[in-house]
């Protein structure tokens, strides 16, 4: 398969790139990293990126961020960070990418445990993760040409110790478990699934 990994140089993405490269052709994309550049907050940039990428069988997104901060001081501008990046960035990868992906291809997005197990200062990411999950449940019914879509929802990953203080009482998940979630989506047959890695 020809697999594009957006965020393929990040903490999770680089492990996905290593794993899928063993069996597939992998193209790494990122804002500044990788062989293809894309800013997922810009639909124009995504359109250009797909034109440059050529035909592909799987698009994996391990990119997109949001705002972490107390509710009391959170502003509209703060909240829109997650909406523009992790939410609309990933949704636009699908809305635009559905015109470029090969028949029987797959999209795999990333949400996270905060949709169901919240932390303080996490209202933006809890909301965005829930919305990404909801998008996938519905989009799976309508994608044409047997194209599948799933989302992997990781817990805080053992490779991100800088995040542990924000997740008191959470058990970090192994990167192997997280990678297996993406393998299930890309190489398996599941569709419309929220694949929990926590
Ligand atoms: N790490 C965790 O414990 C954890 C747990 C649950 C969920 N998640 C989710 O998993 C995803 C990846 O997390 P991570 O920890 O691997 O992040 P990371 O180490 O910060 O890596 C993010 C990657 O995404 C790319 N990226 C960021 N913004 C982009 C944009 N606007 N357009 C295109 N590419 C962009 C970056 O590329 P450049 O460097 O080139 O900009 C980088 O390769 C995020 O959605 C995160 O919320 C992570």
SS3 178: helix
Contacts for 73-76: CB closer than 8 Å, 24+ residues apart: 74/123, 74/124
19 confidence band (pLDDT: 50, 70, 90): very high
Task: Calculate how far, in angstroms, residue 126's C-alpha sits from the geometric centre of ligand 1.
Answer: 16
Each residue of 73-89: pLDDT tens digit? 999 999 999 999 999 99
Ligand 1: lining residues by beta carbon, under 6 Å: 6-7, 9-13, 30-33, 38-41, 62-65, 85-86, 89, 110, 112, 154, 156-157, 160, 163
Each residue of 93-117: pLDDT tens digit? 999 999 999 999 999 999 999 999 9
Q: What is the mean pLDDT of residues 48-65?
A: 98
Q: What is the mean pLDDT of residues 168-187?
A: 98
- The 25-30 sheet, strands edge to edge: 36-37, 25-30, 2-6, 58-61, 106-110, 148-154, 194-197
Q: What is the mean pLDDT of residues 35-49?
A: 98
Q: Using CB atoms within 10 Å of the CB of residue 11, give its burial: 0 to 12 exposed, 13 to 18 middle, 19+ buried.
A: middle
Measuring CA to CA, which residue among 110, 107, 116, 130 is closest to residue 179? 110
DSSP state of 172: P
**C-alpha pair distances (Å), 147 with each of 10, 28, 97, 117, 156:** 26, 21, 11, 30, 29
User: Global pTM?
Assistant: 0.99
| Structural contact between residues 17 and 8, judged by C-beta atoms closer than 8 angstroms | yes
Task: Calculate how far, in angstroms, residue 88's C-alpha sits from the geometric centre of ligand 1.
Answer: 14
Q: What is the mean pLDDT of residues 105-133?
A: 98
132 confidence band (pLDDT: 50, 70, 90): very high
Per-residue pLDDT, 147: 99
Per-residue pLDDT, 157: 98
Each residue of 144-154: pLDDT tens digit? 999 999 999 99
From 14, 16, 31, 173, give the residue whose CB has the most ligand 1 atoms within 8 Å, as the site to mutate: 31
């Amino acid at each position: 398969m020809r697999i594009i990994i957006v965020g393929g140089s990040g903490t999770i993405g680089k492990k996905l790139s290593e794993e899928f490269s063993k069996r597939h052709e992998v193209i790494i994309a990122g804002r500044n990293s990788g062989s293809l550049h894309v800013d997922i907050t810009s639909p124009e940039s995504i359109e250009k990126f797909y034109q440059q990428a050529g035909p592909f069988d799987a698009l994996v997104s391990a990119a997109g961020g949001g705002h972490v901060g107390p509710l009391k001081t959170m502003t509209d501008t703060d909240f829109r960070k997650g909406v523009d990046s992790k939410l609309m960035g990933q949704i636009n990868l699908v809305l635009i990418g559905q015109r470029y992906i090969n028949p029987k291809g797959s999209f795999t997005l990333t949400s996270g445990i905060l949709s169901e197990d919240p932390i303080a200062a996490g209202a933006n990411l809890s909301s965005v993760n829930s919305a990404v999950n909801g998008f996938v449940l519905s989009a799976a019914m309508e994608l044409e040409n047997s194209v599948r879509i799933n989302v992997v929802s990781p817990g805080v990953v053992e490779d991100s110790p800088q995040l542990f203080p924000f997740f008191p009482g959470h058990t970090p998940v192994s990167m192997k478990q997280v990678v297996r979630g993406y393998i299930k989506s890309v190489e398996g047959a599941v569709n419309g699934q929220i694949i929990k890695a926590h």
